[in-house]
C-alpha cells in the first residue's frame, strides 16, 4: 500500500525528520567544521541540505553516505557561496550558470528556492525512463493519456489505442513537450502516474536532489509539485552522460511514426520548443547550444534548462526559472551564455 502525504503532513514530516540521526550527525560536523575551519565539498553540501528521508542512513556510515548519495562529479555550491551581487539583467526568480567541465559556479541566484518547474519536469521523467525501461517496448496509449482536459496543455495528439515504440514516444515527449506522451510513458513504466511519481522522487533523492517533490510526469501545475534550480542541475548533469538523451535534446524537429488502433500507419511531425534550436533565439558568438528543456505555466512562469559548449569546448549548464515571459527568458539565458566567453 502506498502512503501519500498531504502538503501539511509533508511539512510536519519534514520538521520531524530534522531530529533524525542524520540531523545529529550534521550538528556534530557543523560544530567540528566551525572549530577547525575545514571541510570537504561533499560534507559542505550535505550540511546545506535538509534530508527528508532519515531512514537513508540506516546501516551506513557518514563516509559511505556522502560518497553514494551525491551525484558524481558535480559542481558543489553551498548556500552561502551563491552570487552575492545580483545581476540586474537576471530578474527571474532563480538562475544559475555552471562550468560543468571544471565544476565551477559562474552565477547562482536563489538556486535552493522551491519553484514550480512546469515542463522541465520532463527531464526527470526521461531519467527514470532511460534508467528502468526497455526503449524497444511498444506502448499502447490509454484513454487517460489521450484525454487531458486542462486548458492550454501541450499535447502530441496521440489517440487512445495508438501503439508507438517507447523510444519514439520519448523523442516526441521531450521535443514537442507533449503531456499526453508523459502520461503514456508513466503508465507503461510504472503502471500508473502515482507510482511513476514515486519513482521520480526516489531517483531525485538518490542524486542528492532532496528539495524536490513531483506528483506527475509532465509538470502541469500542482501545489505539491516543485523543485529547485540546483536540484534540476543535479539530474541534468546525470542525463548529459546519456548519448540518447543528448541526441533527443539536440533535435529541432522530429517525425514520430506509429500505428493506430485500426492497424493503419500514422505519423506526427513535431518542432522543438527550444528557440535556440529553431533559430529564433541566437546564442553569443562562439557558444554552441546543444539543447535542453523549456517549461511554461501560469504559476511557473517561463523556464529553461540548457546544455551548451563554449569557445573553449567546455560544457556548461544554465538554468532560468520563473522569468516573466518568453522574451525575458531568452534575454536572460543569452546573458548567462555570454559568461562562457
**C-alpha 81, offset from chain centre:** 22
Between the alpha carbon of residue 235 and those of residues 17, 112, 186, 232, 335, the distances in Å are: 24, 14, 18, 5, 23
Query: Which of the residues 71, 119, 142, 272 is marked catalytic?
Result: 119
For the question of residue 119 being annotated catalytic, the response is: yes
Any catalytic annotation for residue 80? no
Among residues 122, 212, 302, 308, the one annotated as catalytic is: 122
**Residue 68 phi, psi (nearest 5):** -100, -25
- Cα–Cα distance for residue pair 325/152, rounded to 1 Å: 16
Could you confirm whether 122 is annotated as catalytic? Answer: yes
All three cell numbers of 11: 511539512
Catalogue the long-range contacts made by 68-74 (C-beta closer than 8 Å, 24 or more residues apart): 69/206, 69/208, 70/42, 70/45, 70/46, 70/207, 70/208, 71/207, 71/208, 71/209, 71/234, 71/235, 71/237, 71/238, 72/238, 73/103, 73/237, 74/103, 74/208, 74/233, 74/234, 74/237
The cell numbers describing 283, all together, are: 546564442
* CA-based nearest residue to 122, from 51, 191, 196, 190: 196
Quickly list H helices, the chain. Answer: 7-17, 21-36, 41-48, 62-69, 122-132, 143-146, 166-176, 179-190, 193-206, 229-239, 243-249, 275-278, 326-337
Q: Of residues 177, 272, 302, 308, which has the active-site annotation? A: 177
Q: Are strands 315-323 and 301-309 parallel, antiparallel or unpaired?
A: antiparallel
Catalogue the active-site residues: 119, 122, 177
Amino acid at each position: 500500500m502506498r502512503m501519500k502525504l498531504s502538503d501539511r503532513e509533508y511539512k510536519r514530516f519534514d520538521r520531524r525528520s530534522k531530529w533524525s540521526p542524520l540531523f545529529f550527525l550534521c550538528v556534530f560536523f557543523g560544530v567540528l567544521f566551525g572549530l577547525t575551519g575545514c571541510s570537504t565539498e561533499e560534507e559542505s553540501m550535505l550540511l546545506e541540505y535538509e534530508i527528508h528521508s532519515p531512514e537513508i542512513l540506516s546501516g551506513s556510515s557518514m563516509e559511505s553516505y556522502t560518497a553514494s548519495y551525491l551525484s558524481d562529479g558535480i559542481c558543489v555550491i553551498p548556500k552561502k557561496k551563491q552570487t552575492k551581487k545580483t545581476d540586474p539583467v537576471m530578474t527571474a526568480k532563480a538562475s544559475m550558470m555552471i562550468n560543468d567541465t571544471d565544476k565551477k559556479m559562474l552565477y547562482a541566484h536563489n538556486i535552493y528556492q522551491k519553484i514550480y518547474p512546469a515542463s522541465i519536469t520532463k527531464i526527470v521523467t526521461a531519467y527514470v525512463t532511460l534508467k528502468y525501461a526497455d526503449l524497444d517496448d511498444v506502448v499502447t496509449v490509454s484513454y487517460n493519456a489521450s484525454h487531458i482536459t486542462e486548458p492550454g496543455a501541450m499535447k502530441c495528439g496521440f489517440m487512445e489505442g495508438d501503439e508507438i515504440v517507447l523510444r519514439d514516444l520519448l523523442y516526441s515527449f521531450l521535443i514537442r513537450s507533449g503531456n499526453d506522451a508523459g502520461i503514456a510513458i508513466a503508465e507503461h513504466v510504472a503502471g500508473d502516474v502515482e507510482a511513476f511519481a514515486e519513482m521520480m522522487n526516489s531517483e531525485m533523492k538518490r542524486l542528492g536532489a532532496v528539495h524536490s517533490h513531483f506528483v506527475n510526469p509532465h509538470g502541469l501545475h500542482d501545489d505539491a509539485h516543485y523543485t529547485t534550480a540546483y536540484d534540476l542541475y543535479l539530474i541534468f548533469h546525470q542525463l548529459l552522460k546519456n548519448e540518447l538523451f543528448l541526441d533527443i535534446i539536440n533535435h529541432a524537429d522530429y517525425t514520430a511514426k506509429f500505428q493506430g488502433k485500426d492497424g493503419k500507419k500514422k505519423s506526427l511531425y513535431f518542432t522543438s520548443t527550444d528557440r535556440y534550436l529553431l533559430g529564433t533565439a541566437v546564442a553569443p558568438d562562439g557558444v554552441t547550444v546543444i539543447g535542453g528543456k523549456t517549461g511554461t505555466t501560469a504559476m511557473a512562469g517561463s523556464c529553461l534548462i540548457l546544455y551548451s559548449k563554449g569557445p573553449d569546448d567546455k560544457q556548461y549548464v544554465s538554468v532560468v526559472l520563473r522569468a516573466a515571459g518568453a522574451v525575458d527568458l531568452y534575454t536572460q539565458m543569452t546573458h548567462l551564455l555570454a559568461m562562457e566567453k
